[in-house]
Structure 1
């Protein structure tokens, strides 16, 4: 640990929040492994240690019925490193992958490692020397379904949006929260009630289906991972029952594949955890503004989400601190995308759906890799339209991409000139 941070205390959490939870610490450095393990034990965890990835895999694969909730692993180890370890865990059908944190040294990482980070094997990343405050925040966030720490501590102090942000056209709706995690459910409830909405609740997808059939709420916030019935299946049943109002997915994944999965089962949109009050209110404004009781048509304007046009800091973080590499990739990417946008425009006009699909897939992937998520989302919708030979969907979705790309290009030029 960073010695300057040794006296930092845990965030404010319930006293027994960590008590008895199983965690595995994997590091070939005995000193670092011991210090992390002792700290976690002091917080109440039941800690096991492994000096190698091979030993860790043996422990995870053991016949013990008690599974690890969290694994903290070093990136650089002999024989099998942290990435290979994660690959083994995720490719073994006999293992239910636990939450995992990767520890690594800062900087000096190239595109290969950055691409591996995009595989989503790890839920969080810590840079050595590790501060106790960073460790505690990361662990708490992961074990409380990625909820924002500040919001978790100050649930009862959430203020309504300021006068300049008041969404007067969306006050007083009946909104269902389908969420099994009590803290997340309470957070959503607090946000909604403080902004004038009536809240209905469901602890799983089955109950959500029943509540929708009985109460016909104006909008549903649907967690994707719930017991009894998950959010995807619940939404499919809800749509088959004739419910046409918006169903907004609440998910920990921001990947395009997750968005497509949500849309394919009938969800209207999604917000990712940890969410902010503005994320929730923006969804309500988008779908339940005056005259928007049903899912709105795509308009010829930029996607109005809480995402930045280009999250440069996140892109640098994705490439593990290699800012020079990120900057070197930007202009070639913009030049390629300019041609690809034209290709899609021509392909839609010529009803060449395979070209629409493959070109949109290329844009989606490159934008997601570089945290250009608004263009990435617009491309994902076009890819889906091309895949399904959906002419109406493609014609409606193309203006979104055409509106977003100039904004992205301008943002990139601004960054490169700074």
Structure 2
């Protein structure tokens, strides 16, 4: 396959970009969590991005010899498919740029048209370029039913500037985070949440143990879990992924990245990255499915803002445990399976990373819970909205995205010079 690397000019440009006051997230969904922060830190942030572009590209050089089925699109093709990147077709937006719904002709059958999501990197600098390269290099060779499929890319440089785009399969049922929030009136049924827990565990287990090399996802969270038309959950946004440690090494040393609230405590403290960092994030996500709450929510009362701290005293007995179940479920859940899922989460959230189970072991535990639980029939496909209605931001969300803070910076992204990891409270 074509493995993308960086020229010296790009690296020099990036060094200049490092001196700016803030960095932007590459998440494909609009986040309103502007005041997330490390456990115990005094500073707020949603994402903390690393700046080692060259090392990230080098870490995926191993993939360059593998066959890729990615299609290379021209910018004119994608411009036509998105009607010149019309805002009426925009279904998401982040610091990197916009995501557009479009229709293209299938590579396998030119008479067949398929829905796709096109992510366009902003041309206003190199922010997100490293993540774009990583995404192409990873998803160009990695394929699994629980990973969002990358169909192709566009990389053109001309008088109009740098054009970097990614073309994915379209996921009509949006992200798990969208459904756990109040964005949709109908909450995710308990059975669907169980299947999502199973799907995501299967996807992570494949990345960690299903190939002759290991990939650490590093940004596992509910907004990066998308749902297809049959409600199958798939991991998306691999821009922060890293290859696991080489033989004989226990970890990968790297700057702290990802979304605060999901990041493993030892990773925040030391920058030592292992697959067990993803296992911790998965444990947090299980409690998100159980409670319907985000890992950190400053809009809640002080004692309920940190999810893991809030659930801890409710785990001692059944009566207390019922109090943390998502009230939007209105009692329509299996209490026994919820308790078992919480027990799996607790195994993932052990303080010592070496004591956490591998994702293949986690998957086995979740499979046993699903097999012994009546989870009902899958949801019918969600009604496909018209493009102009597919993603409607509230006035409050628009205001939050414009928010500027002297510490956080524009769009709520951390001013990297001010952030220092502090002591970590573990679960």
Q: Give TM-score scaled by structure 2 length.
A: 0.27
Q: Give TM-score scaled by structure 1 length.
A: 0.28
Considering Cα pairs closer than 8 Å and 6+ residues apart, tell me whether 1 or 2 has the greater RCO: 2
Structure having the higher Rg: 1
